Each structure stands twice: as C-alpha cells, then as structure tokens.
Structure 1
Amino acid sequence: MRMLITFQNKKIPVYFNAENKQPVQKTLKLLSSTLEKKISHGKRALKTCLSSLISIEIVGCEAILHTVRENDTLALSLY
C-alpha cells in the first residue's frame, strides 16, 4: 500500500508492507513525530539523509529511508 506524507514541504511516498500489524494511521503518526524529532535533534548524517529523502518503506517496526544517494539510505526504528 502507498500513501503520501508532507515532510519539509515535499510530498514523500510511504510504502507499507501487507504484513504490518499496526494500524496505518498510528504508524504514520509515529513516523511523522519521529522524523520531526530527528530533523531538529539528530546527528549530521541523519539530517543529510532527511534532506535528500525520496521515499520511505515501512517494514515491521522500522522505517527504511531511501535517499537520492544510495549511500545515505538508512533504517530508523519507530518504536
């Protein structure tokens, strides 16, 4: 399943796996709060990743942040 969120004035697609047990709205709320927290208090590598974010994939309790540069892609725990 695919949904769009707005982050830093950009529309970012979020892809969900069909096996996720958590409700979609709860996961999106956790994702949004985690991203906002990390953009303001995260390390430089994480801020670099968030500035070039192109899509997010939710796998279980992790968000895989895909960026323009493959080397900047990382996983972020939501729980």
Structure 2
Amino acid sequence: MSSIKNILLTATLLLTPISAPAQTDTTTSPSTTGGTTSATDTNNQGFDYGWLGLLGLAGLRRPAPHVVNTDRSTAPRP
C-alpha cells in the first residue's frame, strides 16, 4: 500500500506543470488617485530584517544532547 502511495505521489509531482510567475510591470512612476500622489514606502528605519530571520532560525537549533558515561567495570578503584 505504501509503494502505491509513493508511485502516485511521484507521478503527480512529475506531471504537475511547474510555473514561475514573473513581474512584467516595469513602470516606475508613482500612482495618482484623485489628485493625490502615493508612493510605496520601503524605508524600514535602517533595520535589516534578514538578520532577525537568521536569529530566529538559530533559536530553532536543538541543544546538544546530554551524554552520561557510566562505568560498570568491577575492577577496584585505586
């Protein structure tokens, strides 16, 4: 049953058309509506949000496992 699911999933992924939408509008003038001019504000006050994302990903890292060594030898200790 599992192999049938794998085959169907593979066939679906292979037969599905892959498209990448592209931006075709290359106008650079601000839009005007009713006599007022509006422009897109991309100012983020000097903050780079890419670093915030990297810090978030670093926070998802799993901590190192705790290793416990036990000595089960029967030799006497000095």
Q: TM-score, normalised by structure 2?
A: 0.20
By relative contact order (CA 8 Å, sep 6+), the higher-ranking structure is: 1
Which has more strand, going by share of residues? 1
Structure number having the greater helix percentage: 1
TM-score by length of 1: 0.20
